[in-house]
Structure 1
Amino acid sequence: MTEETRFDPYMTAIIANRIDGIVREMTNTLLRAARSAVINSARDFSCSICTADDQLLASAEGLPIHIFGSHMQAAAMRQAHGDDLKEGDCYLHNDPYTGNTHAADHTFLVPVFFEGEHLFTTVAKAHQADTGNSLPTTYMAGAKDQYAEGSLIFPSVRIQRDHRMIEDVVRMCRARIRVPDQWYGDFLAGIGAARVAERRLKELCAKYGRAQIKTFIRDWLDYSEQRMVQAIKKLPKASLTRSGAHDPFGELLPDGIPLKVTVAIDPDEAMVEIDLLDNPDNVDCGFNESEACATAASIAGVFNSIDPTIPRNSGSFRRIRMHLRDGAVCGRPKFPHSCSVATTNIADRLVNLTQSAMAQIGEGYGLAEGGIGLGAGMAVVSGLDHRFGDSRYINQLHLGSSGGPGAPQADGWPTYGIPVIGGLMYRDSVEIDELKHPIEVRYLRLKTGTGGAGRQRGAPALEFEYGPKEHPMDVLWPCDGTHYPPKGVRGGQDGVRARHFKIATDGSETELPNIVVDKLFKGERVRGHHTSGGGYGDPLDRAPAKVLKDVLDGFETVERAERLYGVIFTGSLDQRTLAVDAEATAACRQARSS
């Protein structure tokens, strides 16, 4: 060992924070430079840094569904190009069969060289407003296969050499994508984010030297693994199984898609094994998981249930062993089955099943199931904008949010999004959406009395209503949770199902199915709500003061407070004199318990 190769905890911490800072600079670059609202308003993107041997090193605040597979894409880039990787290259990758999530996530990879050696790969992944699908959406739920899906696929395609753009790829995308100028702005922003990290990593290497940087990589990943070992050793030995199902989809999937996750915990070996083998074959629609999504979603459920300070990288991943099956709906997909909706619906169920399975260990472990479903509040909308010469627009909304799950020590977050997001994205600004698109949002609000009841309750559902201002507007969404709501755990109650309605110009309403491909004309609107989160623990154990606050804040109703929580009030809600009747509450709860 030399001074440069000996483990130094202080230097390891310093460089680790510097690396995280670089990832955050990538994030700010993409957030501020992108043109589409799905990126610069909703923040549907993630940035990360991988090592030259394809290990995830750092991801800062990346979305779990995005970044837990970054190393797979770095490996795909190296496998495709081998010794032809050069300084100044940049690659575009969106192939779900070789490490990407789904076709709508365009990923920009830059190999970073220092003193002639490939040391890092920077990764910037961003969900696109449009990718050339046969329908104006990036979620083709009804696509029988990748051909019907229609998206342009780039399996680690070189888009820059010697820092110069390869214009052939740009022309291909401009010719196919519905909003070429908007896409090109996002394209440049993604490349810019990866290039910013390249410059900063070179500066870091110049400051500390190549040997010190290699030592850091080794020590940081080993440290992360040791943190994971310590966390797993605190868990009891267990084999946990949890089953659920994705919603039906017409005649294609009349009973939905049954799903099963088994989590085996071995504290002696400090290993967690996640078994997805006992699941159906690929389905003839867009709900198939890519390998990256099946892995990322399951791993996210484990990380949600343990020490949150453990670094999320390939070091800690060493202590999780995945069991996947080729040709399975949540395994390794068999070409050409479509993975268009891989980042959300089935993936959300896998996060939920894994973290709720962990709750079977005992009190204080795991989480309830979080709200699911890309409903109307997350629809892809498109059409012509009368304000700008009938120019074309297309974007995925992020107005809506599903309710977060109850946890051992906390209520669910209202800004949760969906399980694969876990509160890390932004909810759209209504004002920005109305500025960017010819859309009118009538309201956006929490729906009182919808959160899954529990000692720690799930967050309530979010309801909304919107419609076009002038020209017809296409609306498409692949919602889950309209049939099978998120489940509570350890005595907690389930969340509510998602529901959506189309409102005609005369005010009449028609309830919509879960998978929607429709058009709204002037005067028509869509209203509805997404699912809420499940509760954690017995509702009768919730502190009466918390129930009172929920009622006063509009999260709960007086009727549900008594019926579900056994809390009796005196006074008036309207006059703000409501108070807990402690004696009556204790008697009510005692009667319910016995």
Structure 2
Amino acid sequence: MKTQDPFTLEIIQNSLRAISDEMFSTIGKTAMSPIIYEVLDMATAITDADGELASAGSGIPAFVGALDKSVRAILDKYPDDAIREGDIYITNDPFYGGVTHLNDVVLIKPVFADGERIAWVVNIAHWNDVGGKSPGSMSVDANEIYQEGIRIPAVKLFSNDELITSVMDMLLANSRMPDFLEGDLWAQISALRVGNKRIKALAGKYGTATFRDAIQGYLDFGELMAARTLKALPEGEYTLSEPQDDGSELSVTIQVKAGQLIIDLTQAPDQSDSPINISRDGTLLACQMALMGLIGDREMANGGCFRVMQVKTRPGSLYDVKAPGACGIYFETMIRLNDLIWRALAENMSEHLPAGNFSSICATIMGGTHPDTGKHYSIIEPEIGGWGGGPGGDGANAMFCAMHGDTFNCPAEVAETRYGVTVGQMALNPEDGGAGEFRGGKGIVIDYKIRSDNSFVTCAYTRSVVPPWGLKEGHNGTANRIEVIRDDGSSERYAMATGINVNTGDTVRVITANGAGYGKPENRSQAAIEQDLKNGYVTVEYARSVYGFNQSGSR
């Protein structure tokens, strides 16, 4: 008999969210790597016994829908009687439930009460180095997954609450930074143990039947909320093709009908010889992020929300890679797809959605020998940039893209302490661009001064050629890229490159795009233009030529 008390169900549902957040906090407070404890490149979740996402904690939006898929990979691989209370599983392989790329390591633990499996706790975090051909385990020239690091194919890490030391030994032996790896791993293990303890107590207090009813009710509510969002949108079929920086073209067809969202990606290019492929699960994540953007309530994300969506892919394509395709730079294809879906909707619903943003992870990897410690160091930084203007407001300055929405940039003080660099500047991008009635937000400029010879830089930036797109006659934004400024004053520009050699005195300058504008620039108010000039967001020449502004107060 189902529990009918709505107050009890609500308490359990909110408790699950609190437990997810507590697991998240546990990792953040105990991890070894700044990419985890400062940037928060991680996520936590709870699923029901069958692997449907019940609750997600804070963390990267792109990870929210990843973790249920990892649980299902365990359920597919292991028979029920082989899954026991003291087990912890580990995976990072997109062909074995890892979903993203080898740096993102997932830990999974079943939760039992009264001898019955009632849930799973799961988390994911980005590890600095998991081996492979390049330091940092990401390279834009890898052509098969074997070059990208150690593959962990959904194996047991703990059995009967005992660490399987042979697995740990293999992990440590394959990393250039084993001390960081071990510290981050134990942080994730601690979070699982916290989640397991809290869920057991919750089920013990209210009973396992009531616990299950609460999860099912939460999932049903998520489905209802998503269906209502889609029913409020104009029904129709929207198709968009967009050129990409590398000269290729990506296409999508979206159908909104009767509270359902159907996304057809079967026209995607064949999978690539470069590491920009994504698994079908990764493609689902990009689509799920777009749906949650429409719903607008990140904290309510659960498996029920995604029941209203159907995604069509073609095996062997860019969006449904087959082994041993490389996936290390999957994130740029994922954000390109998310942005493609958003643009297809925005161009048909421009009264509700904003113009294009810098829309890139702008992954920046630097490393070498730390000049103070003599040890290998590695910086792995996603960057912040400008968002597009929208109906009624300018775009946000210096924010992460949709994929990294709950993260932070690494403070200069931490970067200088933990890494072998000096941060020369961190400022808003002064370039002109993104004009509109509501202008695009500003990107950033960061200078990293290299302090040791024979260091390296790897970068993976898109929107470096094709800029953020304007809406309703708003102007496009600017471009993402890095510049390597040599000690002799010469400079080089890069967007996709592996292992650029840099030496003492060289500067790596990160430049992220200003977002695109919304509406005709001539409709921008005089007061807004004057404020832009005061803030240094536009030059006088640009204000005159694009906005028709003159300092006499008229146009």
Query: Which TM-score tier does this pair reach, normalised by the shorter chain?
Result: over 0.9
Aligned equivalent of 1:362, options 333, 349, 353: 349
Quote the RMSD (CA, aligned, Å): 1.9
Alignment length (residue pairs): 553
Aligned equivalent of 1:264, options 255, 262, 286: 255
- Distance change >3 Å, CA 97–CA 538, structure 1 → 2: farther
Task: Give the match for residue 577 of structure 1.
Answer: none
Pairing 1:341-490 to 2, within 5 Å after superposition: 341-342=329-330, 344-375=331-362, 378-388=363-373, 390-398=374-382, 400-422=383-405, 424-450=406-432, 452-490=434-472
- Distance change >3 Å, CA 163–CA 387, structure 1 → 2: same
- Asked if the contact 2:398/2:428 (under 8 Å) is kept, the reply is no
Does residue 276 of structure 1 match 2:268? no
After superposition, the C-alpha distances for 1:100-149 in whole angstroms (9 at most, x for unaligned) are 21111000101111111111111110011111121113322211111233
Task: Give the match for residue 288 of structure 1.
Answer: 277
- Asked if the contact 1:114/1:202 (under 8 Å) is kept, the reply is yes
Which deviates more, 199-208 or 457-466?
457-466
* Matched-pair identity in %: 28
Query: CA separation in 2, counterparts of 1:176 and 1:306?
Result: 42
Does residue 175 of structure 1 match 2:139? no
- Asked if the contact 2:57/2:299 (under 8 Å) is kept, the reply is no
- Asked if the contact 2:398/2:442 (under 8 Å) is kept, the reply is no
Query: CA separation in 2, counterparts of 1:549 and 1:112?
Result: 55
Does residue 125 of structure 1 match 2:130? no
Does residue 112 of structure 1 match 2:100? no
Query: CA separation in 1, counterparts of 2:338 and 2:239?
Result: 13
Letter in 1 for 2:40: R
Query: CA separation in 1, counterparts of 2:438 and 2:282?
Result: 29
- Asked if the contact 1:305/1:355 (under 8 Å) is kept, the reply is no
Q: Return 5+ residue gaps in structure 2 as ranges.
A: none
Does residue 225 of structure 1 match 2:223? yes
- Asked if the contact 2:56/2:299 (under 8 Å) is kept, the reply is no
- Asked if the contact 2:59/2:407 (under 8 Å) is kept, the reply is no
Task: Give the match for residue 574 of structure 1.
Answer: none
Query: CA separation in 1, counterparts of 2:393 and 2:50?
Result: 39
- Distance change >3 Å, CA 410–CA 450, structure 1 → 2: same
Q: How far apart are residue 444 of structure 1 and its match? A: 1.0
Which deviates more, 480-489 or 110-119?
480-489
Letter in 2 for 1:304: G
- Distance change >3 Å, CA 78–CA 93, structure 1 → 2: same
- Asked if the contact 1:305/1:366 (under 8 Å) is kept, the reply is no
Does residue 500 of structure 1 match 2:500? no
Letter in 1 for 2:388: P
Q: How far apart are residue 296 of structure 1 and its match? A: 0.9
Which ranges of 4 or more aligned residues in structure 1 deviate by more than 4 Å?
none
Task: Give the match for residue 252 of structure 1.
Answer: none
Query: CA separation in 1, counterparts of 2:186 and 2:432?
Result: 42
Query: CA separation in 2, counterparts of 1:226 and 1:415?
Result: 34
Q: How far apart are residue 42 of structure 1 and its match? A: 1.0
Task: Give the match for residue 575 of structure 1.
Answer: none
- Asked if the contact 1:48/1:62 (under 8 Å) is kept, the reply is no
- Distance change >3 Å, CA 33–CA 569, structure 1 → 2: same
Q: How far apart are residue 425 of structure 1 and its match? A: 0.8
Letter in 2 for 1:59: A
Q: How far apart are residue 450 of structure 1 and its match? A: 4.0
SS at match of 1:318: helix
SS at match of 1:111: strand
Query: CA separation in 2, counterparts of 1:37 and 1:494?
Result: 34
After superposition, the C-alpha distances for 1:285-335 in whole angstroms (9 at most, x for unaligned) are 1000122221111221232234437821111101111111101102x2111
Task: Give the match for residue 45 of structure 1.
Answer: 42
- Distance change >3 Å, CA 364–CA 194, structure 1 → 2: farther
Letter in 2 for 1:336: P
Letter in 2 for 1:81: Y
SS at match of 2:85: coil
Task: Give the match for residue 134 of structure 1.
Answer: 133
SS at match of 1:95: coil
- Asked if the contact 1:231/1:307 (under 8 Å) is kept, the reply is no
Query: CA separation in 1, counterparts of 2:440 and 2:456?
Result: 32
Aligned equivalent of 2:152, options 151, 154, 170: 154
Letter in 1 for 2:18: G
- Distance change >3 Å, CA 322–CA 558, structure 1 → 2: same
